Amino acid sequence: MKRESGLLIASLSVFSAVLLLSSRADAVPSFARQTGVSCAACHVTAFGPALTSFGRDFKMKGYTMSNGAPQKLPPVSAMVLGSFSHTKADQDGGAAPSFNDNDNVALDEVSLFYAGRITDKIGMFGQVTYDGVEHQGMNDGLEHFGMSWDNVDVRFADTATIGKTDLVYGLSLNNSPTVQDLWNSTPIWGFPYVSSALSPTPAAAPILEGSFADQVVGLSAYAMFNNLLYAEAGAYKMLSTKWQRNFGVSSDAVAGESPINGLAPYGRVMLQHDFGSHYASVGMIGMSAETEPGGDSSAGTDRYTDIGWDATYQFNNNSANIFTANLSFIHEKQELDASHALGDASSSSNSLDTFRANAGWVYQQTYALSGGPFIISGDSDSLVYADSRTGSPDSQGYIIQAEYIPFGKDASFSSSWKNLRLGLQYTYYSKFDGSSDNYDGSGRSAEDNNTLYAFAWLSF
């Protein structure tokens, strides 16, 4: 335990030091101004998480690439996301506290970023967010201001040559598993990049799909060999209740956590290759966490082990048309000895699988059509999935999306200072939490949760 505590203290010390250093850094207000290239160089649709080969390289090398010009302003920016959500059937009692049963307009998020170079070999992507849907208010930490920390990735990166092998290597200090990942086939940066917070979503998800987001601190080492083989290994440690509240995590969220006991190892391997206008990658990802169910360690611990496989394809020949595709499959083994002993699981061993796929067409990095299916399936458990009439986690459906991105190209007006993404998204469910009809025992069907989501996403 002393060794684990030492790792946590050391990691937080480095993190705090970087934050202090960042306030003095002579950098730029955005990645685009730092590099001297437009957003379209890094992003498939000129704005948003989907990265090009250049964008992945920029992230892997620690957000430090620069055009060499002296910068007078720090690399800070902001983001605003607003939306309209409509579900096929009303949600009795409101979609969320202070919201209507249906047809809700929301200020989803307002974020502030420190994103860019700190030194020649250290860079940062750091986000602090006001959540207009979930905010409940506290009297301490960031949430006193309605804010909480969001995605954070602080990197050290360098290059070397060993024999005939080109090597990029580095360290990532971050607060959410997969936030440091370079590919858009893993959960945090995967499709859809935004979605409604005011519509029902399936109850079941593996731990890699955000179970520990913003609750942990992790440190991993990574290396890319000859721009072909990527490998990463590290571990995550649960932040204390006090630290989480200081970072703005709400009291209700902290109270509902199943904290990690000790360290949770994390690993990633990926093979990638650029061949002409085509890019392809295929890889694996994994994480294992021993947890205390609901914070109760009296009966021991549960263990969740996730192993995932994913792949990416992109076609980009610098013409008007870009095509993309992503696949992801995650298998989770659940050893629920503690939950079973506490009466929170009917079985001591379950499994859960998620499959997600999407394909997209982008025209002139301005107009985009994308979509794909999702499938969640696993063992039934009447206690783990108590809100399901069948006790099953099974859900499936598809998502389709159309978008317009007017800025972010070389010829765009003030392209390095602002960007905008306007989108219309539709989510269809053929099965939800175990059934197509009456899944909750109150008569609600899967299709009742079908959601039309219109959004405006502005960064500046």
Closest CA to 457 of 414, 404, 399: 404
Q: Which residues pair with 119 in a beta bridge?
A: none
**Averaged pLDDT of the chain:** 88
Spell out a b/e string for 406-420, using b for 16 or more CB atoms within 10 Å of the CB, else e: ebbbeebeebbebbb
Q: How far apart are CA 415 and CA 187, in angstroms?
A: 28
* Residue range 135-193, pLDDT digits in tens: 644 445 555 556 899 999 999 999 999 999 999 999 999 999 999 999 999 999 999 99
Q: What average pLDDT score do residues 276-292 get?
A: 97
* Token pair belonging to 370: 């994308």
pLDDT of residue 432: 98
Is the backbone peptide bond immediately before 192 cis, with ω within 30 degrees of 0? yes
Is the predicted pLDDT of residue 35 greater than 80, yes or no?
no
Percent of the chain with pLDDT over 70: 88
User: Domains (ranges, CATH) in the chain?
Assistant: 78-106+132-459 (2.40.160)
pLDDT of residue 74: 77
Q: Which residues pair with 231 in a beta bridge?
A: 223, 269
Q: Which residue has the higher pLDDT, 419 or 216?
A: 216
Q: How far apart are CA 429 and CA 138, in angstroms?
A: 36
Residue given tokens 């055009």 in the structure block = 67
DSSP 316-348: E-SSSEEEEEEEEEEEEEEE-HHHHHHTS-S-S
pLDDT of residue 416: 58
Q: How far apart are CA 422 and CA 405, in angstroms?
A: 6
Is the predicted pLDDT of residue 257 greater than 60, yes or no?
yes
**Model confidence band, residue 75 (pLDDT cutoffs 50, 70, 90):** confident
End-to-end, the C-alpha distance of the chain in Å comes to: 44
**Model confidence band, residue 253 (pLDDT cutoffs 50, 70, 90):** confident
Is the predicted pLDDT of residue 410 greater than 80, yes or no?
no
Is the predicted pLDDT of residue 68 greater than 80, yes or no?
no
Is the predicted pLDDT of residue 131 greater than 70, yes or no?
yes
- The model's pTM is 0.90
* Residue range 380-391, pLDDT digits in tens: 999 999 999 999
pLDDT of residue 168: 98
> Among the residues of 247-322, which ranges form H helices?
251-255
Strand-strand pairing, 216-225 and 165-174: antiparallel
**Model confidence band, residue 114 (pLDDT cutoffs 50, 70, 90):** confident
